[in-house]
Amino acid sequence: MKNVVLSMKKIDKRFSGVHALKEVDFDLREGEIHGLVGENGAGKSTLVKAITGIIPKDSGEITYLGEQFDPQDPKDALDAGIGIIHQELNMMEHLTVAQNIFIGRESTKKGSSWLLDEKAQNQRTSELLKHLNMDINPTTRVRDLTVGKQQMVEIAKAVSHNLKVLILDEPTAALTDNEIEDLFVIMRDLASKGVSMIYISHRLDEIGIITDRVTVLRDGELVGTKDTDKLSKEEMISMMVGRVVYEKPKLKSTVPKGAPIALEVRNLHAGRLVQDVSFNVRKGEILGFAGLMGAGRTETMRALYGADRSVGNIWINGEKVQINSPIDAVKYGIGYLSEDRKRYGLAIGLSVAENSVMASYGELCPKLFIPQKELEDISREYVDRLEVRTPSLDQLVKNLSGGNQQKVVIVKWLIKNSSILIFDEPTRGIDVGAKSEIYQLMNELAKEGKAIIMVSSELNEILRMSDRVAVMCEGKLTGILDIEDASQERIMALATQH
Ligand SMILES: Nc1ncnc2c1ncn2[C@@H]1O[C@H](COP(=O)(O)OP(=O)(O)OP(=O)(O)O)[C@@H](O)[C@H]1O
Ligand SMILES: [Mg+2]
């Protein structure tokens, strides 16, 4: 058996009101890829943050390379050869790719310790990216990259440190299938060089493919560690949630015949990408939007929501409307659940209750000041309904686990009572149990007569939820399929049709 590089014994951590880790044992072997799974809020991120000195553990011991290890901050851990890629992106958006990768250890000109040598730095970055098969320009500003590409830059940055232990906290949530394959090639290569990895993901198929062993946490407790090849997906799920979860495709549309059209879009053009997109959604319908990353689905939704400029014709409940800004969109009853919750969806420094009612201030006013109690009463219903795991409604959103933050965004738009809801990658980073809760909720909303647009990169999700599937490729809508006629193959054919 291979050497144990890192071992954790009885790690315990409490936050006020939450017992996040309960005497958890965990060990990592040399050159192994060790999956870490569990529901939202199970304690995965907390455990790896304890390893990297981001969060101090309350008690327990960490042994690293045979010695006791107590990093005080992430730099300590990095100096010792342990790096982490976080669940939420953590970059200087105004800096270039190269500047982000080499931040704090910039290349300097020969003979100088402080004159920056941008050219050398760009050159090194370009070599690194090429080596990793990433098609990214070192001089592009990070804010101009897609979320997926930003994630790839984070990965490149971590790899550039020559680590012994690399921790990846849900790195694939925003990646395309091709990017994921590239990442796996990089991971296997690192493993063959003796690098040990902890890999956190809610995509259990990926866990089955890429890991050697899997550790399952539930409610801050260790459920067990098993060899991946001896563990079925069903077993893994039941270890995680303590019950069996089914995933079946929708066989036929559940929209009532003759349901009125809630939203009609004709000849929409936006930015340089979106061209001549036309479609409609009926009340009570879930219209799935499939396509490869970069197909223009999010751009189309942003244009619809008035977040980006566009030209085209839009009718809502038969009335021609002009949407020039998100304020207009909200006025017409459109809610938008963004794919990038940190950037567009949440004010993470505010509480759960405040975020919940943020989109509804218009209705709640004219009272300028809303008492805390009232805020909490309004948000409680949905927070409970979605089972958002939070010790209280005044907890700051930044202290919630990633998946629970996503649920708060959903709560926000539910409270707003929008009649047209756009869900852009609604279950990204959400565990299987909570996913099925969100699916059930979307079905209920559709039943109540709301029109729902769901952008998703997961074909399973598209096939399971949609009444019709719109497919985009390179900014154009290449087809709309009734769910009865939709299949992975037909969707992929339309998604790659030029
Ligand atoms: N800084 C903090 N302050 C208070 N509570 C916290 C803090 N960080 C995490 N928690 C709580 O600790 C618990 C474990 O959270 P953690 O982020 O480790 O979950 P996770 O398993 O990574 O979930 P996800 O899959 O949603 O990312 C959660 O209940 C979370 O709300
Ligand atoms: Mg997490």
Q: What is the pLDDT of residues 40-59, one digit of tens each?
A: 889 999 999 999 999 999 99
Q: b/e string for 295-322 if b means 16 or more Cβ within 10 A?
A: bbbbbbbbbbbbbeebebebebbeeeee
Alpha-carbon separation of residue 350 from 271, 342, 358, 374, 400 (angstroms) = 33, 12, 10, 16, 11
Decide: 44 in ligand 1 pocket, CB within 6 A.
yes
Instruction: Answer whether the bond into residue 249 is a cis peptide, omega within 30°.
Output: no
pLDDT, tens digit, 9 for 90 and up, residues 139-159: 999 999 887 788 889 889 988
Residue with tokens 């981001």: 54
Judged by its nearest atom, the ligand closest to the C-alpha of residue 394 is: 1
Average pLDDT over residues 190-202: 93
> 366: pLDDT confidence band, cut at 50, 70 and 90?
low
Which protein residue has the closest C-alpha to ligand 1 atom 1? 399
Within 84-145, residue ranges assigned H as helices are 97-101, 118-131
Judged by its nearest atom, the ligand closest to the C-alpha of residue 47 is: 1
Cα–Cα distance measured from residue 342 to residue 344, given in angstroms and rounded to the nearest whole number:
6
Decide: 389 in ligand 1 pocket, CB within 6 A.
yes
For residue 14, the model assigns a pLDDT of 95
pLDDT, tens digit, 9 for 90 and up, residues 290-346: 987 778 999 999 999 999 999 999 999 999 999 999 889 989 999 888 766 666 678
Gap from CA of 45 to ligand 1 centroid (Å): 7
Decide: 41 in ligand 1 pocket, CB within 6 A.
yes
pLDDT of 244 strictly over 60: no
pLDDT of 279 strictly over 90: yes
- 108-112, 231-235, 451-455, 459-463: range with highest mean pLDDT: 451-455
Average pLDDT over residues 152-170: 90
Residues forming a β-bridge with 24: 11
Judged by its nearest atom, the ligand closest to the C-alpha of residue 400 is: 1
Cα–Cα distance measured from residue 475 to residue 34, given in angstroms and rounded to the nearest whole number:
39
Decide: 46 in ligand 1 pocket, CB within 6 A.
yes
Which protein residue has the closest C-alpha to ligand 1 atom 29? 41
pTM over 0.85: no
Residue with tokens 């101009």: 144
Decide: 399 in ligand 1 pocket, CB within 6 A.
yes
> 248: pLDDT confidence band, cut at 50, 70 and 90?
confident
Domain boundaries, the chain: 4-241, 261-495
For residue 312, the model assigns a pLDDT of 96
For residue 208, the model assigns a pLDDT of 93
Gap from CA of 354 to ligand 1 centroid (Å): 19
Q: Are 457 and 176 in contact (CB under 8 A)?
A: yes
Decide: 40 in ligand 1 pocket, CB within 6 A.
yes
Gap from CA of 339 to ligand 1 centroid (Å): 20
- Average pLDDT over the chain, rounded to an integer: 88
pLDDT of 263 strictly over 90: yes
Tokens linked to 345? 């969806």
Average pLDDT over residues 476-492: 92
> 470: pLDDT confidence band, cut at 50, 70 and 90?
very high
Judged by its nearest atom, the ligand closest to the C-alpha of residue 40 is: 1
Judged by its nearest atom, the ligand closest to the C-alpha of residue 22 is: 1
Q: Are 107 and 123 in contact (CB under 8 A)?
A: no
368 or 19: which leads in pLDDT: 19
Q: Which atom of ligand 1 is nearest to the CA of 87?
A: 27
- Residue 154's closest CA among 178, 128, 177? 128
> 2: pLDDT confidence band, cut at 50, 70 and 90?
confident
Decide: 403 in ligand 1 pocket, CB within 6 A.
yes
Gap from CA of 79 to ligand 2 centroid (Å): 24
For residue 341, the model assigns a pLDDT of 65
Decide: 401 in ligand 1 pocket, CB within 6 A.
yes
Average pLDDT over residues 104-115: 69
Alpha-carbon separation of residue 181 from 128, 172, 497 (angstroms) = 18, 10, 22
pLDDT of 441 strictly over 80: yes
> 202: pLDDT confidence band, cut at 50, 70 and 90?
confident
Best of 400, 406, 407, 432 for a ligand 1 pocket test (most atoms within 8 Å of beta carbon): 400
pLDDT-above-90 percentage for the chain: 52
Which protein residue has the closest C-alpha to ligand 1 atom 3? 399
Least confident piece of the model among 2-11, 100-109, 183-192, 423-432 = 100-109
CATH fold of 261-495, please? Answer: Rossmann fold (3.40.50)
pLDDT of 241 strictly over 90: no
Cα–Cα distance measured from residue 200 to residue 139, given in angstroms and rounded to the nearest whole number:
30
> 361: pLDDT confidence band, cut at 50, 70 and 90?
low
CATH fold of 4-241, please? Answer: Rossmann fold (3.40.50)
